[in-house]
A and B are shown apart, each in its own frame.
Chain A
Amino acid sequence: MITLGKAINMGLRRALTEDPKVLVMGEDVGKLGGVFRVTENLQSEFGEDRIIDTPLAESGILGTAIGLALRGYRPVCEIQFDGFVYPAFDQITSQLAKMHARSLGTLKLPVVVRIPYGGGIGAVEHHSESNETYFAHTAGLRVVTCSNPNDAYWMMQQAIQSDDPVIFFEPKRRYWDKAEVNEEAPSLGLHETRTVQEGNDLTLISYGPTVRTAIEVAAVCAKEGRSVEVMDLRTLSPLDLAPVFESAQKTGRVVILHEAPTFLGLGAEIASQITEECFYSLDAPVLRVGGFNVPYPPARLEEHYLPDLDRTLDAIDRAFAF
């Protein structure tokens, strides 16, 4: 049994071993091993040239990573916390996302940007954001997120191998969740949705930190006589919705769960696509459960903000009431 954080560390280690062009760079990633210890011991093994402690400048991290990528390297950047990505937003959206198209395909930027995201750790301001939608909305980027150690291990390697820039969201409150990791082979590609468990009455879709919540919700529903199919999106851009449509056509009821605010969150996009593709199959409109449309509140109020078991069950009840 391996923690999610450790699984990422193992994935990075394997990538660094297999490809000498892979670099890791960010604030405190080297000597300290990262504030969540995700990059622990990498610098002692691979050296300061490859595991780089950068100055405290996010735009600088991304900008120099782009330069390194232009020179043929495969940098894995770390942004220390979700709320601190904004200084780098211009480099990410104006440069990282666009350079391949701008250069008509001649310049590739195989850069990975790791971002710990989400709340539930009792943190101070700016440390609990879910800002994945800004990046999913930016053409030219790929955006993925893991929910469990096995996916963390494999998706990190797959993201590094991609020739496109990948924003890799890590659910920080799940860093210490443990589960088995199969080091032999991945079960899925980077951009594939996973059916976590099957069901017939309702489809519950989530990603990242709330997948565990979804599984708990399904267990409660089972006791109540409702069979809930749980899906882990894993890839936010591009979305892999074919399995989702199949599920919606089977169950006729869909609830989407994420920490990010519901307004213009990923759930809105998915709901719209399900409605278009599965209209004749729906017994109820697609419902979304997410954060409120407010700045993330102080730690003592975050339990109200974060969509939990009961809020999700409430949405499921409403879905069945139609």
Chain B
Amino acid sequence: MSELQLVQILSPEGELLTDPEYLLDISTEEIRALYRDLVMVRRFDVEATALQRQGELGLWAQSLGQEAAQVGSGRALIPGDYAFPTYREHGVAWAKGVPPEKLLGMYRGINHGGWDPRDNDFHLYTLVIGAQTLHATGYAMGIQRDKSNNAVIAYFGDGATSQGDVNEAFTYASVYHAPVVFFCQNNQWAISQPIESQTKVALYKRAAGFGFPGVRVDGNDVLAVLAVTRAALARARAGEGPTLIEAFTYRMGAHTTSDDPSRYRLAQELDEWKLKDPIARVKSYLTRNSLANEEFFAGIEKEAEAVASKLRSDIIDAEDPYVEAIFDYVYAEPHPILDAEKSAYINYLESFTEGEKK
């Protein structure tokens, strides 16, 4: 990765570097807090994966390996900033304060996204690739009209950059100077297709074609991501329009639990990226500089276990939806025809004798 041009502040070995363009003002306490975030997010993701393997979830999209990209950018946001995720931004959800168990509902099949986006300014997960980048841009256009100081961050992957919607979002954001940060996690793979099948040019360079700046950052370096995202958000708030951040990272797990990466990538690649682990480098930095002791790390581990344990019991106890939920939320305004359809179906269900409940 050192051959690549990218912003890096914390090396894989845990050494602090300086990037002249992205000076980071950060305290030890804040770094320890970031470390905690990273560990919690990874533990959450590991537990969710296990729950899927145990049949509690039909599917899970793992964020494994991308914790720094998500936590670093998520922690750059100020209250009122709005995030539009894809379906893998569990680390951003954590940073925004979304209760972790709520992310599992759609993967368990009990809803299509079980949290109120307005509670934490974190939009529901969007499964249509790239669609949310336009929503983010429109939201930012709304912020402009409100003359608010907030900004929007739109998350998407390397594969999404091929989608028309993403390119249209770049167009709209640039001509309107919309206060939106386009945060692309280039995790090198779109299911089984490598980055080379999506683009002939480094993704961050795309922005130039649309007339706004692009920057590539080490996606596994939480400090660099934090610095770069803060800068981009500042630009947005200042009315200077969008920025494209390419967070260069790696999808350590499969695309989802239905996927088998061994069919298209080599174990060796995985091993190489393990050496660049986002959490290890922070631990290394803290330890080496005596900024955290065993007690601190043990406390974090214990807390992580509690998070995992709570997640497990929360999801196992999660209520299944009422059948009325199929009908009740389709329209905001009254809809007598749909009401009649619902009543007819409820009556039909009640016409069966007890015993085999559907």
Contacts and interface: CB of A to CB of B under 8 A. Distances in A.
Query: In the complex they form, do A and B come into direct contact, defined as C-beta atoms under 8 angstroms apart?
Result: yes
Nearest to A239: B337
A68 B142 contact: yes
Contacts of B146: 71-72
A67 B131 contact: no
A60 B113 contact: no
Given A68-B141, A107-B117, A100 B330 contact: yes
Interface residues of A, number: 43
A59 B169 CA distance: 9
B131 A90 contact: yes
A63 interface: yes
Contact of B117 (A68, A106, A163, A164): A106
29 contacts: A54-B172, A55-B175, A57-B171, A63-B133, A63-B138, A63-B168, A64-B138, A64-B141, A65-B138, A66-B135, A67-B135, A68-B142, A69-B138, A70-B117, A70-B138, A71-B139, A71-B141, A71-B146, A90-B165, A94-B128, A94-B131, A95-B131, A103-B116, A104-B111, A104-B329, A105-B332, A140-B330, A163-B332, A238-B337
B141 A163 contact: no
B142 A67 contact: yes
B116 A87 contact: no
A90 B129 CA distance: 11
Contacts of A164: 331-333
B169 A103 contact: no
B332 A95 contact: no
A184 interface: no
- Which are the 7 A-B pairs with shortest beta-carbon distances? A67-B138, A63-B134, A71-B142, A64-B138, A60-B168, A163-B332, A67-B139
Contacts of A140: 330-331
Given A100-B331, A101-B330, A70 B135 contact: yes
B328 interface: yes
A91 interface: yes
B133 to A, nearest CB: 8
A91 B116 contact: no
A170 B41 CA distance: 51
A64 to B, nearest CB: 3
B109 to A, nearest CB: 14
A63 B331 contact: no
A60 B176 CA distance: 13
Contacts of A108: 332
Interface residues of B, number: 44
A100 B337 contact: no
A300 interface: no
B112 A101 contact: yes
A91 B134 contact: yes
A59, A71, A100, A140: residue with the most chain B Cβ atoms closer than 10 Å: A71
Contacts of A107: 117, 124
A49 B145 contact: yes
B145 A95 contact: no
A64 B128 contact: no
A55 B138 contact: no
B136 interface: yes
A309 B41 CA distance: 68
A36 interface: no
A292 interface: no
A162 to B, nearest CB: 6
Interface in B109-130: 111-114, 116-118, 123-124, 126, 128
B325 interface: yes
Interface in B161-175: 164-165, 168-169, 171-172, 175
A101 to B, nearest CB: 5
A54 B146 CA distance: 19
Interface in A280-296: none
Interface string A135-155: 000011010000000000000
Interface in A203-225: none
A73 interface: yes
A94 B33 CA distance: 38
B332 A73 contact: no
B175 A101 contact: no
B140 interface: yes
Interface in B298-340: 325, 328-333, 335-338
B168 to A, nearest CB: 4
B46 to A, nearest CB: 27
Given A55-B172, A60-B168, 4 more contacts: A57-B171, A59-B168, A90-B128, A105-B332
Nearest to A103: B124
Contacts of A64: 134-135, 137-138, 141, 169, 172
A110 B332 CA distance: 9
A70 B111 CA distance: 20
A104 B117 CA distance: 11
B332 A100 contact: yes
B332 A67 contact: no
B128 A73 contact: no
B161 to A, nearest CB: 15
A142 B172 CA distance: 27
Contacts of A62: 134
Most buried by A among B111, B175, B333, B335: B333
